Structure 1
Amino acid sequence: MALVGGSVAVSHVLVDAPLMTAQTVRYAAAAVVLVVAARLLGRAVPLPRGREWLLLALLAATGLVLFNVALVRGAEHAEPAAIAVAVASVPLVLGVVGPLLEGRHPTARIVAAAAVVTAGSMLVQGTGRTDAAGVAWAVLALACEAAFTLLAVPLLPRLGPWGVSWHSVVMGTLMFAGLALVMEGPTAVHALDAGDWAAVTYLAVLVTAVAFVLWYATVARVGSASAGLLTGVAPVAAAAVGVVVTGDVPGPPVWVGVTVVVVGLACGLRTTRRSARLVRP
């Protein structure tokens, strides 16, 4: 989540680049990194079967492709903070829906902690102006961000973090490639300059290959509800990187938001550790 939050400044480099082409290159490079790393580390990448193919396709279409489209189109109708605030509600969605998909009931403590983390994230990011279309794109971005985790829940027991990451990235590459050919043409890759290539490399290796595996490994280990709390780290990391990149020190509301996020994380994750001790044989 720190890598994802820190990528905000890096992604801004690509604002004038052909979006679909840049994303195609990003995910194609990430797929190569994942398969090479899996072989070097001896990690299994099982082949999907049955309905797993459909779930992976839905995951790639929503969590990877449509999410990025929602961010771009939403920015045309709303300030970035408005979209970010909607996405910041992910802990609440995962805290309620995640346990149901895992065959459990949502716990009041995790839901309360998720509400605290969400409130803190909103303070960090601010609110921002928007219109009706912007609200619609923001809601879509929230749904897609939640789908990125929730659709992986039934896949992780058999495919594992490496399998879910690699197959979804490959499918995302193919989807972005099709959109790039139709919307930007096969020569759009030549429009990427040195700065674009550097940004794409960072996003491919750290924000896609590394972050995907770490995230899905966490979801598999502690469950989607507890993992969802950690999304509160992203806006805090974005604010910290912003200080380094721009030199602008955030105002008091941001620091209050950071404190609230930390409190929510401490309450929620402390519950997880306590539960783990109780069920340990």
Structure 2
Amino acid sequence: MNATPLRGALLAALACTLVGASFTANSVLGDYPYAGGQALRYGLAALLLLPLLHSRDGSHPALLRTLTGRQWARLATLAAIGMVGFNLAVLAAERSAEPAVPGVFVGCAPIVVGVLVPLLDGRRPSPAVLYAAGLVAAGAFTVQGWGRADLAGIVFSAGALAGEVGFAVLAVPVLRPLGPKLLSATVCAVAAVESVLLGVLLDGHGFLRMPTGQETLVLVWQAAVVTVIGFVCWYSGMRQIGAERATLFSGLIPVSAAITAPLVGTGTYGVGQGAGSLLVGVGVALGSGVLRRRPVPVPGSATREGVASRGTA
């Protein structure tokens, strides 16, 4: 077993597990203004990431001066689609569809990324990754099942899928020059600004209010743990094993949500969830490369805009 794939896999797994657990905590923020909550979460996360930027992996704020206008546009799009847009799509979908519906759509992200990233890089999709992505998607569906949904719920669920895909795909060309920490800090700052603008546009000055004690705890946990730790782990893992293999671990999001839901009385974990979790685990293990004895090359690492494996997070 090669150390680099294993380390990258563990980082991606931790990130997706944290995201899945955050879905359970989101129920506490049901009455809090959406845009205001996003602004607080990502703004606090950006501030918490600042002390981590002067490090050996090259995550130095001065690197931002070297970015082109096209790269800044990509970062803004990443924040808008993969962060603010993703969360908005999930929230909107759950207004007319059961939570399982957007979850099933998001569970298909490994298949889309497994096809899209190689094509954008001028390569053929890896059959092994696509087979593994199919297992992960089937496992995610088994964990969550399929719930009630109307046309609006399906459309917004498809938007959530686009956000999950964009969070990985749009980051590929800027991950190499910035590194996981600076990339995370930058997109969090951009997402905070975008959330403020969205809040003012939709809700005026009422987009922000003082959170309750429970809401404060959830917002701080989402910012400090899910965003700071989760984002850095995600992009560190993606840099080591590539976007295609890292996205396989998004199948752990519904698994983590299903495991943590009984802890707060919002769901149960039974035979179906156990079987789905097993499918996800098999797909992740087969597709991520952690079971291979020889090192697994990172797809696109030799290209100028590919994912680079250079050091730790």
* TM tier relative to shorter chain: over 0.9
Aligned mate of 1:23, from 35, 38, 48: 38
- How is 1:6-85 mapped onto 2 (pairs within 5 angstroms)? 6-39=21-54, 43-45=59-61, 46-47=63-64, 48-85=67-104
> Could you tell me which residue of structure 2 aligns to residue 213 of structure 1?
232
Count residues with an aligned counterpart: 279
1:248–1:176 distance in 2 versus 1, CA, 3 Å: closer
Q: CA deviation at 1:244?
A: 2.4
Q: Which runs of 5+ in 1 are unaligned?
A: none
Task: Deviation per CA, 1:14-59: give whole Å up to 9, x if none.
Answer: 0011111111111100000111222477742420323101100110
Contact 1:222/1:272, CA 8 A, preserved across alignment: no
TM-score (norm 2): 0.83
SS in 2 for 1:128: coil
Q: Is 1:173–2:192 an aligned residue pair?
A: yes
Q: Distance in 2 between matches of 1:278 and 1:203?
A: 33
Q: Is 1:90–2:114 an aligned residue pair?
A: no
RMSD: 2.0
Task: Deviation per CA, 1:170-193: give whole Å up to 9, x if none.
Answer: 111001011222333435533411
Q: Distance in 2 between matches of 1:202 and 1:193?
A: 14
> Could you tell me which residue of structure 2 aligns to residue 109 of structure 1?
128
Task: Deviation per CA, 1:103-150: give whole Å up to 9, x if none.
Answer: 432110110000001100111111111011111111111011100110
Q: Percent identity?
A: 35
Contact 2:107/2:141, CA 8 A, preserved across alignment: yes
Q: Distance in 2 between matches of 1:248 and 1:76?
A: 18
Contact 1:30/1:204, CA 8 A, preserved across alignment: yes
> Could you tell me which residue of structure 2 aligns to residue 182 of structure 1?
201
Q: CA deviation at 1:69?
A: 1.4
> Could you tell me which residue of structure 2 aligns to residue 266 of structure 1?
285
Q: Distance in 1 between matches of 2:289 and 2:68?
A: 37
Aligned mate of 1:236, from 255, 270, 295: 255
Task: Deviation per CA, 1:241-280: give whole Å up to 9, x if none.
Answer: 113222864222111101111111121123774562689x
Contact 2:79/2:188, CA 8 A, preserved across alignment: yes
1:101–1:161 distance in 2 versus 1, CA, 3 Å: farther
The structure that is helix-richer by fraction is 1
Contact 2:289/2:296, CA 8 A, preserved across alignment: no
> Could you tell me which residue of structure 1 aligns to residue 152 of structure 2?
133
TM-score (norm 1): 0.92
Contact 2:82/2:164, CA 8 A, preserved across alignment: yes
- How is 1:147-166 mapped onto 2 (pairs within 5 angstroms)? 147-166=166-185
